[in-house]
Amino acid sequence: MRIRIVGTGRAVPAERVTTRTLEGRLGLGEGALETVTGVIERYVCNAESQIDLACAAATLALADAGLEPGAVDLMIGGCGVPYQPLPATAPLVMQRLGLADGSAAAFDVNSACLGFLTAFETAGRMIEAGQCETALVFSSEVASRALPWQNAPEIAALFGDGAAAAVLRKAKPGEGKVAASLMRTYPSAWEACGIGSGGTRFDFRKEQEAFAAHSLFHMDGKELFRLTSRHFNGFLAALLERAGWRREDVDLVVPHQASPFALAHMARQTGFAPEKLVDISVRFGNQIAASIPFALDVARREGRVAPGMKLLFLGTSAGVSFGGMALET
């Protein structure tokens, strides 16, 4: 796809919460959570909403691109957890940004932590097909709303809230391209990670106890680790083959920020040097689908992304899916 990123932006809530603070609130010993998670701090919504974060990130992305909101004719939300089940989140973000009725298409996609990459590819295909010119894709997450603090604080402490957005347009020759994208799903581990309530699985009127019991996030880390260790390298090899790249061709890896320990394992497993990975998990935690675009914006604003580079987006998600995209800037 002859698609390029012309702007990015990110946003976090005002409240920063350290892991030491969480340990005190939970009556745990100093270092009890920091040692097992590797996360030192994260940002947590208090006064802000998911829509506030999305609009803040989108506004910065548009400013970075030098565009007004009215230039957008496609908006895709790629949030792991939406603002509400129905309607989609993207139309509300479109409204809050001041876009006129009928001026753009707005809808959501959902592939859990890989939501941004799915939104990116969907927007890119639509731009290439001539259905739109300027797309705004965003992921905004309030992970702190459904965490299992009582039963699994070591899992809950991995997460943080945040949002990020990117503006996409068609690339001219020499301006870069998406060399390849790939997703592979392993539904044998479908139950290893998720939130059961909020859809049609449980009838709130008839199954209130079951609805409540499945309203918090759960994760079987050992099962996910086993599956990833078994299949991720093969997935990566297939993605690089599609792109026509060797591993040494990759200039920068922008991964999903699952956890500091998960990123260290990814570096060992894939053979990428740690300095080639954008790792912000210690400071921001796992921001679900916002992790990849958030890390991308950090890298761009730190000067780690330049024209002519080969970027590799990589991630895993509930489902369980592996996803990646090879982007030439």
Extract the tokens encoding 142.
Answer: 């309030």
From 45, 55, 132, 286, active-site residue: 286
From 45, 55, 132, 256, active-site residue: 256
Could you tell me where the beta strands, DSSP code E, fall in the chain? 3-11, 15-18, 41-44, 74-77, 105-108, 134-141, 162-170, 177-185, 193-194, 218-219, 252-255, 310-317, 321-328
From 45, 79, 113, 132, active-site residue: 113
Side-chain-side CA neighbours of residue 146 (13 Å):
23
- In a 10 Å sphere around its CB, with 0-12 CB exposed, 13-18 middle and 19+ buried, how is residue 192 labelled? buried
User: Is 214 among the catalytic positions?
Assistant: no
Please identify which residue in the block is written with the tokens 């040692």.
35
User: Is 193 among the catalytic positions?
Assistant: no
> Residue 243, SS3?
helix
Strand partners, 39: none
Rounded CA-CA distance 160/298 in Å is: 16
Q: What's the helix, strand, coil split of the chain in %, to 5?
A: 40, 25, 35
User: Is 151 among the catalytic positions?
Assistant: no
Please identify which residue in the block is written with the tokens 């994260």.
42
Strand partners, 252: 311
The answer to whether the Cα torsion of 122, 57, 174, 70 is positive or negative is positive
No. of H helices and E strands in the chain? Answer: 11, 13
Catalytic residues: 113, 256, 286
